């Protein structure tokens, strides 16, 4: 990747002030792109992009993607949607609207501009999987009426819309399915396991594990995730996805808790609570397609990524 690969290209990132979006904006600016960061600041934060505001190629806009947007850009990354259970279950109807109406509005804009558009989908489209690890051709095992359905089904419907726009209108699309991602700028109270464990450990509070701790997740450091997204966007129009982007390393919740305790030097006890409804028992991406197409695979080991994330949380949130 050369620094000037995107020189002069106008790129819009919806959800650009969020955890993933802010890192993506940084990388696009480093390429020489003009970047329009669009966010309604429900879960995103101005602080995540404050260090970018002096860059003459960077612009922010407060906007909710459930309403149409009329701008002129060359590429669109559609990341707008609350992504943690605490946030997406706060207003489940609005979560579904963000995924579905947001996709319709961004696809309509892309169609008018004939702009390449990438949808940030999720491993949640696989639900509580009966196939392990999860390849892209697995259709999933999702409860369509459960408390997580606003996010799971909203993202599934967004994928449907993307592929129908591609088939019906010839729109150049990219669909990535993002697996658990972590790193600096995560929201400290988003309920996701990495931020939960780190904040609890740094504050000396009990580490909360739901269920017996044997359920697994695969954790991808944010820099690796963004690199995969950028490489996929750079591919030709014939490559639409869906494409898994994540780290195939698989860890139980107990293993993660023990790593966080060791890396923070915390003596917090571990406590167990009831497993939430429809919480997946295992999650691990099959990234064979990404490796073959993009020559990509994660580079940051979990211990190293956790150490960077802990340092951020310690400096930013713990006095």
Active site residues: 151
Most distant pair of Cα atoms in the chain: their distance: 57
CA atoms 195, 197, 198, 201: torsion sign: positive
Up-side HSE of residue 220: CA atoms within 13 Å toward CB? Answer: 28
Phi and psi at residue 181, to the nearest 5°: -120, 145
**Is residue 82 a contact partner of residue 90, using CB atoms and an 8 Å limit?**
yes
**Is residue 192 a contact partner of residue 134, using CB atoms and an 8 Å limit?**
no
**Is residue 29 a contact partner of residue 35, using CB atoms and an 8 Å limit?**
yes
As a whole number of angstroms, the distance between CA 139 and CA 135 comes to 9
Q: Which two tokens stand for residue 28?
A: 């696009």
Q: Check residue 256 and give left, alpha or beta (phi > 0: left; psi -120 to 50: alpha).
A: alpha
């Amino acid at each position: 990747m050369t620094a000037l690969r995107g020189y002069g290209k106008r790129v819009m990132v919806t959800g650009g002030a969020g955890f993933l979006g802010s890192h993506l904006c940084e990388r696009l600016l480093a390429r020489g792109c003009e970047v329009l960061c669009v966010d309604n600041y429900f879960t995103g934060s101005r602080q995540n992009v404050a260090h970018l505001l002096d860059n003459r190629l960077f612009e922010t806009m407060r906007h909710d993607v459930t309403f149409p947007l009329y701008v002129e850009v060359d590429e669109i990354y559609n990341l707008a949607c609350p992504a943690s259970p605490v946030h997406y279950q706060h207003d489940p109807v609005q979560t579904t609207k963000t995924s579905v109406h947001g996709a319709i509005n961004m696809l309509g804009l892309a169609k008018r501009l004939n702009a390449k558009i990438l949808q940030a989908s999720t491993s949640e489209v696989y639900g509580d999987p009966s196939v392990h690890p999860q390849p892209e051709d697995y259709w999933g095992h999702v409860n369509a009426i459960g408390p997580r359905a606003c996010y799971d089904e909203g993202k599934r419907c967004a994928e449907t819309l993307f592929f129908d726009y591609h088939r019906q209108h010839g729109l150049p699309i990219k669909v990535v399915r993002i697996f658990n991602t972590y790193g600096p700028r995560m929201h400290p109270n988003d309920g996701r396991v990495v931020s939960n464990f780190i904040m609890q450990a740094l504050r000396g509070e009990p580490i909360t594990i739901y269920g017996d701790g044997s359920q697994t997740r695969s954790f991808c450091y944010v820099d690796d995730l963004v690199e995969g997204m950028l490489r996929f966007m750079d591919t030709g129009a014939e490559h639409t996805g869906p494409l898994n982007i994540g780290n195939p390393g698989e860890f139980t919740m107990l293993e993660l808790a023990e790593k966080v305790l060791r890396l923070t030097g915390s003596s917090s006890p571990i406590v167990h609570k009831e497993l939430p409804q429809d919480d997946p028992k295992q999650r691990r991406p099959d990234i064979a397609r990404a490796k073959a197409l993009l020559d990509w695979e994660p580079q940051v080991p979990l211990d190293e990524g956790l150490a960077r994330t802990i340092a951020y949380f310690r400096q930013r949130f713990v006095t």
